[in-house]
Structure 1
Amino acid sequence: MLQYTTMGPLMDIKVLSGELLEAHLPHFACLEGSDSSLSDAVRVVSGVDDNLILETGELTRFHVKLLKPSLSLTEVVVKTDIQIKTHLEVLIYRTRVRPLVLFMYLVPWSGSMMQTVKDDLRQLNVRKIEKPQPEISLWVDSKFSLKTSCHSEINPHEYTLNLVRPNFFEVYMKEPENCFDLELISGGQSIWKAEVRRADYGEVKRVVTYTPSKTPSLDEGRMANLSNRERLSFFRPDLITRTSRGAFLDEMEALAKHQPPVLNSYETKHLLENVSGLEEQVTCLLDMVDRKGNIASGIMFVVLKEKDFYLYEDILLNLQANLPENAN
């Protein structure tokens, strides 16, 4: 209503004792090239609901300095009609390997917004890909897009940079190359570019087939003498809570296409149309596999390893470390 927009994280600051003489509140604006009247347009807003206070302070490169501030819920804001640039950080996460799916976020230098990204990804089995960060800032409200040096599907096609929520791209590559580039474009100019190699996103080259006598990797260590059904029961809690939607669909399809099939067409239709919620669907799938016996459970492990390798390995390592001594 006051025609201001956020320019820094919202913080809850309380003085428990003594007197606060000075506070330096962070902002994520880039002063270089910004409107010359930016200093006059920046305020620190504090308070709740109708009891808001707008204060002026000294604007520095990364902070607004207040003398003897009265703080509570507080953040730095700027007039909406002022053009500003912002420092940016690129966050890249691999969510699947084959096909390769990347989630790419472009966010201001804000700890709270980066935490929002982590919260969004908490239920997914992701791997962060570390790359150098952009060296230039970008005008707020400018448009930018992402492109790759190989064939890919990118959604959305274009973004308008904002400071309220993370800016997010999904990159899908059915057959990823050994090495490819990611590049951010704004106003026809490249603002950031990075090379992504196979080692960055964790390609899994091993392809295994099921044999009733041995299940690779699972026959090692303290789970060696357990049947496939018993092993699946140990995996079950993590699979129910940590399997992603994409992995579930891939695993169900693989079980249906296996020769002989582990799931028939009626069972796959039932899972998709009559069972609601991802955790319920995974639970129902595990029940179906368990009822079909030890060989079906072994095939389930092979499919899991092929379709969601990092979740498989993570669960296995935790189980090997925490399995009771009497398990074998």
Structure 2
Amino acid sequence: MDALSYQRAADVDGAIAAAQKPGAMFIGGGTNLLDLMKGGVAHPQTLIDITRIGALDRIDTLPDGGLRIGALVRNSDAANHTFVRTRYPLLSQALLAGASPQLRNMATVGGNLMQRTRCAYFYDTAFAQCNKRAPGSGCAAIGGFTRMHAILGASAQCVAVNPSDMSVALAALDATVQVSGPQGARAIPFAAFHRLPGDRPDLDTTLRSGELITSVDLPPPAFSDHAHYLKVRDRASYAFALVSVASALQLDGNRVRTARIALGGVAHRPWRASLAEQHLTGRTLDEATLREAAAAELAQARPLDGNAFKVGLAQRAIVRATMLAAGMQANATGDTA
């Protein structure tokens, strides 16, 4: 590991001031950053410990009936909080699907949002070509082993995927990320927080230099009764998603009043399935309609040689997750997801 300095921040303003030093990075739970440092991928010159900023480790109700989850709230605490479990079950399910209990006990909500991709070519510095590590060097994954890589929204510069389960649920729930920085505080709609790779895959988010995530705000609960998070992975414990689906519905009988669907494991950011949502809105919910909606969403997929299976898998996962959200019995075909 490289030589570095360490500084503990007492409050948000102090953390932001310290972050103006070149090479400074915030550290909370450290479950991703320390791995990146040990692997020689991240090279901070100063670590700013924010874990003693008490105002960031709370979960509070908002005046409009929504919920504010502080950036330092542990994933396990957020998943098991009464309000999250009862009012936002989609988020609780997604959090519990991520990592292991030990990691959830350390990982923070803010850190979860900032996870870097688990692309093997990004993590292994023996591969010199990685536009996320060294912009302009190329992408070793293109033409390589791509089973875990993107089928939506990728570019010629990067085909990596966002690894977060929590973020998929937050995308479906239309969360807002609250940040503070040298220019003051601002609110970032979740859909605008993570970036697609384009020609700058080294930039994962739209955070500005020196900005600190302070909380994630959830709108008033609207999907408490019909929500399901489905994660399809190689093993049931401690594995990243091949495909995941966060599905939430408002129903009038069996007619869809509102649909919220987001996908994980398929793109550089949590992928909001807006075409599928539009296809379902106002229609009677049945398996045939769901299949049509899923096919419409995945028609824009551009798979690689090693991950074409994800197209069909994502379609089946959308059908199954949404049927389970609605309380419908998935048939044998749905079970294959």
Whose strand proportion is higher, 1 or 2?
A: 1
TM-score, with structure 1 as normaliser = 0.25
| TM-score normalised to structure 2 length | 0.25
